[in-house]
Structure 1
Amino acid sequence: MNIKNLKKLVYILPVLAITACHSDLDQFPIDPDSSTEANVFADTEEAKSGLAKLYASLSLTGQEGPAGDPDISGIDEGTSQYTRMLFSLNELTTDHAVVGWGDPGLPNLHAMDWGAGNDFTVGMYYRLAQEVSFTNSFIEKAINLQGEEAQYFIAEARFLRAFAYYNLIDLYGNVPLEDKVSTSLPEQASRQELFDFVEKELIDIQDKLKESGANEYGRVDRVAAWALLSKLYLNAEVWTGTEMYAKSVEFSNKVINSSYSINTNDANGNGSAYDELFLADNDKNGAQNEFIFSINFDGNQARTYGGTTFLIHAAVGGDMDPAEFGVNGGWGGLRTTKALVNKFDYAVTESDADGNPVAWSDGRALFFTDGQSLEINTIANTFTDGYAVTKFKNVDSNGNAGSDEGGTFTDTDLPIIRLAEIYLNYAEVAALGLGGDKQTAVSYINELRERAFGNTSENITSADLTIDFVKDERSRELYWEGQRRTDLIRFNEFTTANYLWPFKGGAKNGTAVESFRSLFPLPSNIISINPNLTQNTGY
């Protein structure tokens, strides 16, 4: 089996043996399926199909393409896809996004009044628990395989397990910690214990993963371990009470000095290379050199109603032309608030008759304004309230639509960790004065801004590098990439009155909410089934 990249790797999913449908997921994790594992782990080449499932569990939702045989039941299959739920929990709960749909539990996210039975908080827990189950099973069965390539497989599985636990720490706090297949009711681990596990795993596997840039596109190498450590240490003070900013800088430096590079290839010639990161050919247009860990999609061979299919369709509505986005129609749901738009105030080049911005020199300000109001008066069923976001498109650098001739499913891959984020991690610590070099951080910021503007006109100096500047620069660079809630919590702005945005807490002008909202609840049925678990405070 000669597999050149992960898009091809997931083609084989229908024949995988490691499958499961978790209705209650009352045991965390459980044995996915042992009936045909002998076939999957007969040799290294066959085991690669098992490895494919571990990656595909984050990109797809089941065994029959977009719908029909889900890995997780009890929630709409497309909604249950990992990156769609990451957007729902880490972007819809913030100033970056609102959605007009009334699906049960969905309006509660931006209003910040979810409960322990919320479909989205429950679904994400199940998805991450499933990934832990799959990786534990794979590691246990692959341990006896011989050869260097098999050892790389195991290291990648351990990275994916650490990544799942990184998400669980961030979203839920104290959850069960299991590193082997088990059918017993698990004990609950503290956030510190989970942090220590993820840290230890990533440090141990860094030299067991392939060298920087040596793996197939879509599979992780050792730089991914360094990058996740940079992120882990950046959040250490929030998650454990002990700051570890110097360690974040240490591993940021490792990433920055690797073979990955900021994409500056302006293939479509629009003056900014930023938008190339989010097009249908971002696996080969230069963007792939910036992607340290990505979730990959293919309009024909890796179909889902989550992923970038969701991000692109759901963001198209009103007077927007779906063809410009390479899709057959818009779902008219996702928009943004003026809080995000206003972060580009310094770059406004044109305003409408009411003084609202409609054009910007910063190439990251990817908004559609025609027929849209900057102010949001009504979120539900009113797509024209709030600017639309045009960041993601299912067209390539030459404007050609993606591979699905029907225009439903997209080819655009989604970066989960990219080099620009690590630049910003370094800059954040430098701005705090807790590590790194401020002038070096300025050079990293200016590299990103030169890409955004196509010139040096908006480069900054050391005097400009404040923590407030970095906070806003993270928003401008990383919006809609699943980062915002985590950032706001780190800056003490997620639940507090320190920073308000439209309809935060359900109030039109925004209001503070209870501090316990910084964590999502454990699913109520998990709590009722397992007496070893204690619900998060407030739920």
Structure 2
Amino acid sequence: MKNRMKQIIFIVTISLFMTACHDDLNQDPIDPDSFTEQDVFVDITEAKGALAKLYASLALTGQQGPAGQPDISGIDEGASQYTRMLFNLNELTTDHAVVGWGDPGLPDLHGLYWSAGNDFTGAMYLRLAQEVSFTNAFIQNASALSDDEAQSYIAEARFLRAFAYYNLIDFYANVPLVTQITTDLPSQSSRTDLFNYVESELLEIQDLLSESNEYGRVDKVAAWALLSKLYLNAEVWTGTARYTDCVIYSENVMNSSYVINTTDANGNGSAYDELFLADNNSNGAQNEFIFALNFDGIQSQTYGGSTFIVHAATGGSMDPLSLGVNGGWGGYRTTKALVEKFDYNLVVQELSDINNALGAITDWGIVGDGTPNGWDGPDTEMFEIATNKFALYTELTDGFLKFRFNEDWGNNYGDTGADGILEAAGDNIPVTAGEYYITFDLDNLTYTIETVDFNTLLESYIEGDHRAMFYTDGQSLEIESIPPFDQGYAVTKFKNIDSNGNQGNDSSGEFVDTDIPIIRLAEIYLNYAEANLRGGGGDNNRAVSAINELRARAYGDASGNISSSDLDLGFVLDERSRELYWEGQRRTDLIRFNSFTTNAYLWPFKGNQANGASVSSFRNIFPIPSNTISTNPNLIQNDGY
């Protein structure tokens, strides 16, 4: 099992890389305490710290925690973080999300009417350009080290540079290709040239990367996985299909040591939700994560990352504590287009409904100062689960309880000797505060008091696809107007609680521990199936088997499995939605299926229309930021902007 690189994100300061861009700063600093390139690259140990900053620039936003010294100016610091912007650009622009906040430029994204001056599209461009700059500086400086390990570090930096360019190709199409530190204003490269560069880099470094690596760092399989993603989109980005190559590299990943998580650590009937819990670095999910960004509520605080996605999706009547946070921001929900893709039935959502589902209410109940109504009653009534067998889910406090019939002290049972056997008018049964499932067997005079987690319990009362993690109480499926949070189902996919129901490391509930998967094995399964269907070769039976592995995890059994006759491109697109929603994939997928801007697929408020409308095809890519265009005359704005 991989070890977590706990402190990967705050070892070096941003100034290290910024100084590398200016010739007039190639000298020793006046302040002897300053931390410079000469210090960082003095040996391989220090260079590892510099490598950490390359990962950190995708996870964090500045130099002193959540706010105060931002990497990127002109936008709220928390909003400039990579995965937060990835969500806004690739999920909010689709059927997966709407937002009620009125920040300038934010409603434009879901309405598909952004301009070249949009803060969010501009900040993503700068974030990715910064990553390219950082990686270029690292590669140049680390090349002076003679250690073999330095070559592996350089390969990781080259991967991160290729990953940044993969994003730039996707979002902006034609951008400058810069692989050396320079003060010259760069010219644009074509999307095809950029594609070829990313491909060549990944092919060159695949054997330079480690066979396996610390959790949070990339290895050889990550290069294969990014090639799989690159080739899947090749026809859109270059006009030339590369589905055969997508199949080849997807198979490489599928044959690797990464595995689909099947550990249902919290016992709620599915191992899918473990992927998005606060301990997803250790609960089994980590074995599925090929590339993930690490977050910790104490060590790496940001208002982006998982802190954003948990808080922003919480509002209305939702209990923030059940999600491990101290409050909701009341922003993001989903449209019915996502909800209706799932084959599921939310059987119950309240604890009373779960109790009612046990059976008929009876005159047997519990009484005592540890029960909800105290010694004076009335009894908290139990439900008949079988003949003379009763059960109840309830919350207890420190104290005692007994079993009693119809508030009659002439017919009560306790446990004398604390041996689990009940006696008429026996001793009071001691209990401690918590959430419990209590049973009472009248025929055998036995009982159980078992701890449960009500949040997990409520989630387990889903029939069908457990990937459908929505909060519906007080939320309408239909959205008539976007701002009210109660219109549209809330999404509870990401949580700041671990597999045991405990809150993340930050006891205040402000910052979230949950790591965010950027590439995971399930996505590669779906890549393989799609490329196979698009004529890339491979084995259709293997594609069906891979899909069924994901669906068996989602359903908890084989009831959702499909046959080869069910597997077509439309099914794959919907399955990608079900498996990967809110993970930053959707816009790219819809473009590949010619459904993002066209009228082939409409969703609520697409094109800023309640019932959805098509928009101009130039919206398939984002504009290069206006201020970047104005400062570099070598750049030409993308069509339509």
Tell me if TM exceeds 0.5.
Answer: yes
Distance 1:172 1:497, change over 3 A: same
Given residue 182 of structure 1, which amino acid in structure 2 is its aligned partner? T
- Indicate the RMSD between aligned Cα atoms, in angstroms: 1.7
Task: Write the distance in 1 (CA, Å) between the matches of 2:541 and 2:252.
Answer: 18
Task: Write the distance in 1 (CA, Å) between the matches of 2:282 and 2:574.
Answer: 29
Residue 9 of structure 1, CA deviation: 2.1
Residue 434 of structure 1, CA deviation: 3.1
Task: Write the distance in 2 (CA, Å) between the matches of 1:75 and 1:534.
Answer: 24
Q: Where does 1:182-221 land on structure 2 (aligned, <5 Å)?
A: 182-211=182-211, 214-221=212-219
How far does the alpha carbon of each residue in 1:122-181 deviate from its partner, in whole angstroms, 9 at most, with x for none?
000000000000000000000011212111110000000000000000000000001011
Q: Where does 1:241-280 land on structure 2 (aligned, <5 Å)?
A: 241-280=239-278
Q: Where does 1:333-482 land on structure 2 (aligned, <5 Å)?
A: 333-344=331-342, 346-348=343-345, 350=347, 359-380=462-483, 382-482=484-584
Aligned to 2:6: 7
Given residue 108 of structure 1, which amino acid in structure 2 is its aligned partner? D
Task: Write the distance in 2 (CA, Å) between the matches of 1:165 and 1:11.
Answer: 24
Q: Where does 1:318-333 land on structure 2 (aligned, <5 Å)?
A: 318-333=316-331
Given residue 348 of structure 1, which amino acid in structure 2 is its aligned partner? N
Q: Where does 1:218-237 land on structure 2 (aligned, <5 Å)?
A: 218-237=216-235
Aligned to 2:457: none
Given residue 276 of structure 1, which amino acid in structure 2 is its aligned partner? E
Task: Write the distance in 1 (CA, Å) between the matches of 2:191 and 2:525.
Answer: 26
Given residue 312 of structure 2, which amino acid in structure 1 is its aligned partner? A
Aligned to 2:128: 128
Distance 1:227 1:337, change over 3 A: same
Conserved? CA contact 1:504–1:510, under 8 Å: yes
Task: Write the distance in 2 (CA, Å) between the matches of 1:442 and 1:193.
Answer: 35
How far does the alpha carbon of each residue in 1:194-232 deviate from its partner, in whole angstroms, 9 at most, with x for none?
000000000000000000xx2100000000000000000
Moved over 4 A (4+): 29-35, 349-352
Given residue 618 of structure 2, which amino acid in structure 1 is its aligned partner? F
SS in 2 for 1:415: strand
Conserved? CA contact 2:17–2:133, under 8 Å: no
Given residue 55 of structure 1, which amino acid in structure 2 is its aligned partner? Y
Task: Write the distance in 1 (CA, Å) between the matches of 2:626 and 2:464.
Answer: 48
Task: Write the distance in 2 (CA, Å) between the matches of 1:464 and 1:347.
Answer: 18
Conserved? CA contact 2:246–2:536, under 8 Å: no
How far does the alpha carbon of each residue in 1:343-399 deviate from its partner, in whole angstroms, 9 at most, with x for none?
01x3336599xxxxx95420100000000000011112x100000000000000000
How far does the alpha carbon of each residue in 1:388-424 deviate from its partner, in whole angstroms, 9 at most, with x for none?
0000000000000000011100100000000000000
Q: Structure 2 stretches of 5 or more lacking a match? A: 30-35, 350-460
SS in 2 for 1:292: strand
Q: Which structure: larger Rg?
A: 2
How far does the alpha carbon of each residue in 1:434-483 deviate from its partner, in whole angstroms, 9 at most, with x for none?
32211110000000001001100111110000110011000000000000
Aligned to 2:609: 507
Structure with more of its chain in helix, by fraction: 1
Residue 430 of structure 1, CA deviation: 1.9
Residue 305 of structure 1, CA deviation: 0.2
Distance 1:19 1:4, change over 3 A: farther
Task: Write the distance in 1 (CA, Å) between the matches of 2:510 and 2:46.
Answer: 32
Task: Write the distance in 2 (CA, Å) between the matches of 1:360 and 1:480.
Answer: 22
Conserved? CA contact 1:44–1:145, under 8 Å: yes
Conserved? CA contact 1:17–1:40, under 8 Å: no
Conserved? CA contact 1:281–1:412, under 8 Å: yes
Conserved? CA contact 1:304–1:409, under 8 Å: yes
Q: Where does 1:6-155 land on structure 2 (aligned, <5 Å)?
A: 6-13=5-12, 17-20=15-18, 30=21, 36-155=36-155
Conserved? CA contact 2:245–2:536, under 8 Å: no
Distance 1:30 1:435, change over 3 A: farther
Task: Write the distance in 2 (CA, Å) between the matches of 1:78 and 1:20.
Answer: 21
Conserved? CA contact 2:242–2:536, under 8 Å: no
Q: Where does 1:489-504 land on structure 2 (aligned, <5 Å)?
A: 489-504=591-606
Given residue 423 of structure 1, which amino acid in structure 2 is its aligned partner? Y
SS in 1 for 2:495: coil
SS in 2 for 1:121: helix
SS in 1 for 2:7: helix
Conserved? CA contact 1:316–1:333, under 8 Å: yes
SS in 1 for 2:39: helix
Task: Write the distance in 1 (CA, Å) between the matches of 2:67 and 2:297.
Answer: 14
Task: Write the distance in 2 (CA, Å) between the matches of 1:347 and 1:325.
Answer: 22
Conserved? CA contact 1:298–1:411, under 8 Å: yes
Task: Write the distance in 2 (CA, Å) between the matches of 1:351 and 1:64.
Answer: 44
Given residue 84 of structure 2, which amino acid in structure 1 is its aligned partner? R
Aligned to 1:25: none
Task: Write the distance in 1 (CA, Å) between the matches of 2:508 and 2:301.
Answer: 12
Task: Write the distance in 1 (CA, Å) between the matches of 2:22 and 2:247.
Answer: 38
2:294 to 283, 293, 296: 296
Conserved? CA contact 2:113–2:607, under 8 Å: yes
Residue 30 of structure 1, CA deviation: 4.7
Aligned to 2:458: none
Question: Paired residues, what number?
Answer: 520
SS in 1 for 2:501: coil
Task: Write the distance in 2 (CA, Å) between the matches of 1:532 and 1:16.
Answer: 27
SS in 1 for 2:282: coil
SS in 2 for 1:493: coil
Task: Write the distance in 2 (CA, Å) between the matches of 1:403 and 1:349.
Answer: 31
* 435-444 vs 197-206, which moves further: 435-444
Residue 46 of structure 1, CA deviation: 0.5
Conserved? CA contact 1:122–1:523, under 8 Å: yes
Task: Write the distance in 2 (CA, Å) between the matches of 1:144 and 1:251.
Answer: 32
Q: Structure 1 stretches of 5 or more lacking a match? A: 22-28, 353-357
Residue 285 of structure 1, CA deviation: 0.3
Residue 530 of structure 1, CA deviation: 1.2
Task: Write the distance in 1 (CA, Å) between the matches of 2:276 and 2:348.
Answer: 26
Conserved? CA contact 2:306–2:512, under 8 Å: yes
Task: Write the distance in 2 (CA, Å) between the matches of 1:129 and 1:492.
Answer: 28
Conserved? CA contact 1:139–1:157, under 8 Å: yes
SS in 2 for 1:89: helix
